[in-house]
Amino acid sequence: MKHTSKSVLLAGCALGAVAATAQADELSALKAQLEDLQSRVNSIQSAGPVISAGVPEGAGYMTLRRGSLETNDGPVNHNFEEDRGFTVAITPTADLPAPVTEVSVSGYVKADFVYDTHNPLGRSASPAAVAIGGGDNETFAAFANQSRFRIRSRSDTAVGQIRTLIEGDFEGSGLGTESFRLRHAWGEWDLTPKLTLGAGQSWSTHYHFAGEIPTVDFGGLVGTSGFNASRSQQIQLKSSTGPVSWAIALQDPRNDFLISGAVEDSRLPDLAAKANFDLLGGQFGVSALVKEILVGRNGNGAGVFQDSDVGWSVSAGFDMPLGDVVSLHATGSYGDGTSALTGSRGGGVSLNAAGTKLKTVESYGFAAGVRLRLNFDSTINAAYSFAHQEDDAVINALLPGLSQTQQKFVVNYIWRPASRLRMGLEGIWAYQELQSGADDDNLRLQFATWFYF
């Protein structure tokens, strides 16, 4: 009997052990299933929402994510917002993580508030807008015309990547209008991994960016290679090989002739080229432009010109960091018959008294400044710029009110109090001297906000 009881007891213990083991195995399996499910949920969340409707033929899925395709917004309005905008990505299959097409939408609302001490300058603090002898006229103004909208795309094809940019603002003609204005309409095709073909309207190839410094004022500094001629219609070939990049382009001829009763045209496109070099943690840029100038008098008939010449412009600039906090910036331009490209907005070319002989006029300009980066979110910037066109008797006689010398000094504090919000406070001194020798200036205080989307 005792032997039987022992057998029963041992059998019960064995059954209990088996049951406990089975229960433990079930719990382990359930835990593994939960971990696998959580891993899938995390993957879906990190990939962003999946949109199944309207997927093009041959595409696997579409995703929407925060951020745009751009990395830089140009020299005047430096980009603090790395995550601004929205991008729609089209991917052929889930097994191919790299999207074949991406389209991003971004932009900002910019509100400006300006106070002019005695000489109202309008929406852009250009020295050319300084009225001579206008007297004291304190003025406050507010506007939002410089708000901007941008669409970019990037598509991978069998023959190279294709990129596009369409961008505009509401500056219109800049004369009090509020109509939409096209800034950029640009397309690029990577012919090879290092060679790109571009066409449309974008920054002039004569504009090398090096030496620029950010300003709150939309007009930026005078005396730079991009002043008054920063965007051009063109076809461009560019390349980047390590620390060196270069570009060459044929551009729409830019008229720079202001003598009353004369007309200017060109049989040839402007030829522009530039090169940029990464140097000691900064960059150095050079550029040049050559153009044909044809001049005649109104009434000669279409295609009838009385004289021709060659205009040209060269420019160089650099950005040089002095540690992590301070950086130096400088740029200069010199030209003959191309004053719009050197920032002086003078006559550019002149005619003799009979209107039969063309004479090009030399001009030059420069800008220099310092940038103090307090932290990632804020900077203090200061810069002085100067532009001048050489004296010309015919221009003086016919257009004594034309600008000959311009100067501009700015100091600002630009900071980011929150994500996708930027603010700037700037003091501006603008000065203009006319061909006649008369001059005047103005002091402006400007505050601006950028609300990015």
More confident residue, 26 or 284: 284
What is the rounded average pLDDT for all residues in the chain?
79
- Read off the pLDDT band of 9 (50, 70, 90): very low
Q: For residues 414 and 136, which has the higher predicted lDDT (pLDDT)?
A: 414
Beta-bridged to residue 295, according to DSSP, are: 264, 307
Please state the domain extents for the chain.
106-452
Confidence of residue 11 (pLDDT cuts 50, 70, 90): very low
What letter does residue 42 receive in the DSSP assignment?
H
CA distance 182 to 165: 11
> Does residue 144 carry a pLDDT above 90?
yes
Arithmetic mean of pLDDT, 358-364: 83
Sign of CA dihedral 29, 33, 38, 39: positive
Residue 417 one-letter amino acid = P
Average pLDDT over residues 7-28: 51
Q: Which residues make Cβ contacts (< 8 Å) with residue 12, sequence separation at least 6?
A: none
Tell me which CATH code domain 106-452 carries.
2.40.160.10
Q: What is the pLDDT of residue 280?
A: 83
d(CA 372, CA 311): 38
Q: Is the model more confident about 81 or about 133?
A: 133
Residue 402 binned pLDDT confidence (cut-offs 50, 70, 90): confident
Residue range 189-234, pLDDT digits in tens: 999 989 999 999 999 999 888 888 899 998 889 888 765 557 889 9
Mean pLDDT across 121-140: 85
Least confident piece of the model among 4-8, 61-65, 439-443, 448-452:
4-8
pLDDT at 178 over 80: no
Tokens for 198, please give them: 């571009």
φ, ψ at 64 (rounded to 5°): -120, 125
Q: Does position 97 have pLDDT exceeding 60, yes or no?
A: no
Q: Where are the alpha helices (DSSP H) in 244-369?
A: 339-342
Count other Cβ atoms within 10 Å, centred on residue 12: 10
pLDDT of residue 71: 46
Determine the Cα–Cα distance for residues 34 and 282; give it in Å rounded to an integer.
52
Answer with the residue of higher pLDDT: 394 or 256. Answer: 394
Range among 256-260, 288-292, 398-402 rated most confident:
288-292
List pLDDT tens digits, range 265-320: 667 899 999 999 998 889 999 999 998 887 665 544 444 556 778 888 899 999 99
> What is the pLDDT at residue 390?
80
Q: What is the pLDDT of residue 368?
A: 96
* pLDDT(12) > 60: no
Query: Buried (b) or exposed (e) across 185-224, using 16+ Cβ within 10 A?
Result: bbebbbeeeeebebbbbbbbbbbbbbbbbbbbbbbbbbbb
pTM over 0.85, yes/no: no
**Residue located via tokens 């001629």:** 229
Contact indicator for 390, 363 with CB cutoff of 8 Å: yes
Q: Which residue has the tokens 């917004």?
A: 73
